Structure 1
Amino acid sequence: MELPPWVMYLTIILVIAFLRVVAGRRRKLNLPPGPRPWPIIGNLNLIGSLPHRSLHALSQKYGPLMYLRFGSFPVVVGSSVEMAKFFLKTHDVSFVSRPKTAAGKYTTYNYSDITWSPYGPYWRQARKMCLLELFSAKRLESYEYIRVEEVRALLRDLFNSSGGIVLLKDHLSTVSLNVISRMVLGKKYLDRTEVAAIVSPEEFKEMLDELFLLNGVMNIGDSIPWLDSLDLQGYIGRMKKVSEKFDRFLEHVLDEHNERRQREGEGFVARDMVDVLLQLADDPNLDVKLERHGVKAFTQDLIAGGTESSAVTVEWGISELLLRPEVLEKATEELDRVVGRGRWVEERDVPRLPYVEAIVKETMRLHPVAPMLVPRLSREHTTVDGYDIPAATRVLVSVWAIGRDPSVWDAPEEFRPERFVGSQIDVKGHDYELLPFGAGRRMCPGYSLGLKVIQLSLANLLHGFEWRLPAGMKAEELSMEEIFGLSTPRKVPLQVVVKPKLPAHLYGA
């Protein structure tokens, strides 16, 4: 039946009025300042190979709250203490979710891990498991002997390598990986003596480096979805490849753990974090069932996060000390006075070593492992300082920029541990001037473990050895460039020469 003309006219008028209202609402949005976006790519043309530095330079022009477009998606960048508080504390629950990315899809079993899973029942349950089961104070204390044994093994290996040129990152990654492997997996699955090892230590470290790089890259398909299937940069192919390697390893780990559970029956007692996860997966009272792929995703998170952060931070710390022998001398004096040269540093000594603790904090200020934190996603429309932040906006918090803010830090580009001596500023997510592990609900759940390994490793390295650059190399020739991924390690691995300075029997060589 044909509609009367007046009905058609009325419909057109109503549609036009509706479109004008919608357009008017859009025009009324007061978005934060930022550069004008280009068609299709938005502001991606302004982001270089080190995105944290590119965004810091832009924030110098547009301010601590900046609006960008990465392809099709709106992005807000917070680069000040106040903005960090807004996103991570005041309105934490509004920005607690995660954007969908290729890394989350292809490297974490379709967002099944702790890092990339979106806000909801599954993530809340995962966070609860971490806080109450995996990283409880009691459990971490029960694993102290593992941390001690592996740090001692590191010191012994360096003793045996003394006099020659040492590639420090290799040694640091080994100790971190062994600590995490024993705590999470129950043994050193990557030990060369392990008959059932299905991947070499060298290959596994390469897998970890690749995983961290790919979880932080600017994949063009994450910003321009219709280009995703083309994989123009080759990142998705690499993600699938490294994921297959990890899956083969993790299947082997879970099979071995399940075999022991079946073999021991009712007498089974959990020895490591994988055992705990498998027990939780069997719990019928869980709000959301933890599937096998979820156990693998959690396990991969624990291994990767616990290994990379410690090794990267300690390597940066030693690098800075090689440039500042007066700081190294102060640390040595404190260690000799508090610990003495007749034994190694223990975890209980750390609170009595304020200068060494200050070195750790200063390293984390200048070289945060995750300079932009992991991206968040706004769940609802919010406003800050009169600016609108629409729902579904991606949010980046630049702890790298905050660490270089001259309104917060005196001489921010200089390495000065003294700024933390006597200071109450800590790294536990309460002081927004220093957020190496993030803050709020999405804060790194394993930060306390990472901090223990970093402090114990660095303190003993400084206590047990004299440090210098290879012969003929001057301090000003030491490159301090970084590469960008989910973590930010040195671009050129640090090469050093170490000389033991404690009694030989302490090294156990």
Structure 2
Amino acid sequence: MESWWLPTWQPLLVLLPTMLLLYHTVSSWHCGERCLPLPPGPRGLPFVGNILHTSDMTHRGLAQLASRYGGLLHLRLGRLRTVVVSTPEMARLVLHVNDRAFADRPTTAAIDYLTYDRADMVFAPYGPETDPEIKSWGTKHIEYIGGIHEFCRCRGDFLHPRWIRPCYGPLWRQLRKLCINRLFNRRRAASWAAVHDGVDSLLREVTKNSGAVVNVGELVFGMSMKITLRLRLELAGGVPGMQLGMLAVELALARLLHGFDWSLPGGTGSAGELDMEETYGLTAPRAVRLSAVPVPRLSHL
């Protein structure tokens, strides 16, 4: 009869998951005996808990769980137990009625080290020891605000117009002259010609394609690039023409919204039928891109 044997590390691979599962079962059983009853919630997997229940879109996953388990539910994210509040009634009970019970903030080793074992006002545990300190701090804060108001009244009496005009009158006249000659002159107004030309060409392009789906974002981006490339500005440690380009985008969007009525493709449907589903991303973008048809509503378009 042939004998077989396993390498020394293979029994460890079998024994380690068994020991971890046994530890998780025993710890959960002991916690169930000594812990207070928790709100309802889904049963979690060993070690990871309910992390997989939240899905990629966390707010939608929590909304689905709230519709099933109610406005107050319990989740276990790894070893961290979390209570989720998702209705106005439960939020009022937590934040208003029982605010003292939830006044303490969770801490970590880093917070304990930086705040000298939670000795500051933000992370200090709420209780009989900190209540007098909070009241004393609030009283001093109110007195400090009252002193500021009193100082403002004294400063207002000191800075009377009859004292300011003789001192700063010539300065304001020079500033007014500088603004008129440098900022609001004809040359400065002519520098906006590129912006006006770009917006006019954008409106003509949208009007030419009225009744069809128009990619407004692409048109606005192209107009901004043309305006920015026509500028002759110094870098000055930043992006050339950035502020002017942003102003051009805002102006173009304002004129588009003002000069056209927008409808869905095909002429059917309403705003309530739009697909507002999001997809996973840095800013939760729309899963289905918005398409709208411009219809001119002004006589000169």
Range of TM-score over shorter length: 0.3 to 0.5
Could you tell me the TM-score, scaled by structure 1's length? 0.26
Whose Rg is larger? Answer: 2
Please report the TM-score for the alignment, with normalisation by the length of structure 2.
0.40
Higher relative contact order (CA 8 A, sep 6+): 1
